[in-house]
């Protein structure tokens, strides 16, 4: 086992044990834990281990490790902390909360991502505290028309059973399912009608995530319909079916496309690193002397390539110290030189 794997396993086990301790503490030693939800809790602990392990393996790769380190260094750069915090807040709000970077690729595509993301976040914010026993509802004695919200064992505020807030809260998973289904319908429409997307899509990366989310949402809505309008008919079967879809998705989470949700925040660090590096000065091309990229980024890229075993040294400097335009020119000149030599060989050197 490599050092990277040991580190990832230790962190994964630590996060899993830490979450288990929080479940024990938040549910008052399992006093408020619903045993029916044990499968969800075990699947979540397994997913926490898998996600942490894969994330640690990812950030220990030379390129990712460099961005990780440079991102934190850029954030706490002397004299730029306030500016950097504002920039991080702007990017988190614009690129993630509002999915701005997806909307730049297309309005329909951005709306699909936005609906799916916020539907999943709303469902997670409701489901996990309930599964872990951190939040539950009790009926006060002598007030059967009210529920009291209990958080970590402490009663908070009562909610009238027939009130609008109670209706919105108790049907929170229904609203999240509607959001996810609306986003899935837009995403499937793009996958079917957009021939460019259909030509490059793969089942495991593009269709399976949508199918899993669709199954979770539909089975959850069927549960709601069963106890609301069908007097609980087929409720046990639907509960098992819904549990299987959720548990299966949680176990698949560290190894499928959904893992990019945890990688995406690193994009903020990379952007911040590029901006701070640009302030420090740009590198000038060794051939045309024109600035083309942040100097620190060029030096770091050359260092990472050497660590990975790629040798792009030139007689004077490094290949990364040449701008993209001059690289294309050098490539064309090299091809022309080879073609000239091949021509001389073919005609015996009679027509140089």
Boundary (domain end) residue, out of 60, 87, 111: 60
Classify the C-alpha dihedral 151-153-159-164 as positive or negative: positive
Give the containing element (helix H, strand E) for 318.
strand 317-318
Q: Which two tokens stand for residue 38?
A: 């044990």
Cβ–Cβ < 8 Å for 300, 66? yes
- Whether residue 139 lies inside any domain: the answer is no
Mean pLDDT is highest, among 99-113, 187-201, 214-228, for 214-228
pTM of the model: 0.84
Q: What percent of the chain has pLDDT over 90?
A: 40
- Whether residue 230 lies inside any domain: the answer is no
The partner residues of 138 in beta bridges, in order of sequence, read: 148
- Whether residue 18 lies inside any domain: the answer is yes
Give the containing element (helix H, strand E) for 332.
helix 324-346
- Whether residue 35 lies inside any domain: the answer is yes
List pLDDT tens digits, range 27-57.
999 999 999 999 999 999 999 999 999 999 9
Residue 186: partners with Cβ closer than 8 Å, 6 or more residues away: 108, 109, 111, 112, 115
**CA dist., res. 255 & res. 213, Å (int):** 16
Residue 322 has pLDDT above 70, yes or no: yes
Closest CA to 113 of 212, 178, 187, 175: 187
- Whether residue 341 lies inside any domain: the answer is yes
Residue 265 has pLDDT above 70, yes or no: yes
Residue 336 has pLDDT above 70, yes or no: yes
- Whether residue 16 lies inside any domain: the answer is yes
**Given its phi and psi angles, is residue 138 left (phi above 0), alpha (psi -120 to 50 degrees) or beta?**
beta
Predicted pLDDT of residue 346: 57
Give the containing element (helix H, strand E) for 198.
helix 195-200
User: 343 vs 190, 331, 333, 346, 347, CA distance in Å?
Assistant: 50, 18, 15, 5, 6
Cβ–Cβ < 8 Å for 312, 292? no
Boundary (domain end) residue, out of 42, 60, 78: 60
Cβ–Cβ < 8 Å for 16, 49? yes
Q: Which two tokens stand for residue 284?
A: 């000038």
User: Residue 223 — very low, low, confident or very high, per pLDDT cuts 50/70/90?
Assistant: very high
Cβ–Cβ < 8 Å for 273, 71? yes
- Whether residue 85 lies inside any domain: the answer is no
- Whether residue 327 lies inside any domain: the answer is yes
* 278 or 112, greater pLDDT: 112
Residue 341 has pLDDT above 80, yes or no: no
Enclosing domain of residue 17: 1-60
Boundary (domain end) residue, out of 60, 82, 109: 60
User: Residue 184 — very low, low, confident or very high, per pLDDT cuts 50/70/90?
Assistant: very high
**CA dist., res. 160 & res. 144, Å (int):** 9
**Tally of domains within the chain:** 2
């Amino acid at each position: 086992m490599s050092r990277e794997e040991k580190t990832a396993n230790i962190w994964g086990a630590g996060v899993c044990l830490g979450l288990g301790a929080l479940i024990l503490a938040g549910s008052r030693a399992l006093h408020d834990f619903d045993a029916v939800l044990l499968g969800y809790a075990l699947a979540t602990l397994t997913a926490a281990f898998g996600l942490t392990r894969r994330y640690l393996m990812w950030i220990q790769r030379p390129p990712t490790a460099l961005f990780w380190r440079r991102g934190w260094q850029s954030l706490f750069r002397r004299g730029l902390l306030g500016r950097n915090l504002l920039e991080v807040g702007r990017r988190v709000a614009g690129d993630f909360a509002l999915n701005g970077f997806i909307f730049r690729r297309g309005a329909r595509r951005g709306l699909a991502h936005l609906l799916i993301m916020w539907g999943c976040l709303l469902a997670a914010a409701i489901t996990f505290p309930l599964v872990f026993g951190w939040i539950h509802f009790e009926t006060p004695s002598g007030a059967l028309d009210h529920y009291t919200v209990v958080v970590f064992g402490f009663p908070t505020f009562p909610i009238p059973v027939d009130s609008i807030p109670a209706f919105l809260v108790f049907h929170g998973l229904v609203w999240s399912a509607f959001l996810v289904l609306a986003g899935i319908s837009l995403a499937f429409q793009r996958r079917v009608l957009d021939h460019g997307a259909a030509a490059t899509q793969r089942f495991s990366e593009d269709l399976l995530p949508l199918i899993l989310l669709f199954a979770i949402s539909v089975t959850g809505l069927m549960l709601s319909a069963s106890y609301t309008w069908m007097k609980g008919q087929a409720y046990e079967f639907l509960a098992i079916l819904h549990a299987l879809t959720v548990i299966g998705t949680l176990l698949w989470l560290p190894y499928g496309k959904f893992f990019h949700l945890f990688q995406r925040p690193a994009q903020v660090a990379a952007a911040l690193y590029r901006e701070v590096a640009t302030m420090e000065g740009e590198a000038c091309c060794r051939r045309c002397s024109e600035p083309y990229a942040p100097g620190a980024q060029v030096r770091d890229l050359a260092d990472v390539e050497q660590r990975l075993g790629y040798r792009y040294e030139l007689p004077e400097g490094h290949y990364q110290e040449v701008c993209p335009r001059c690289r294309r020119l050098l490539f064309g000149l090299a091809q022309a030189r080879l073609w000239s030599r091949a021509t001389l060989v073919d005609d015996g050197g009679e027509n140089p």
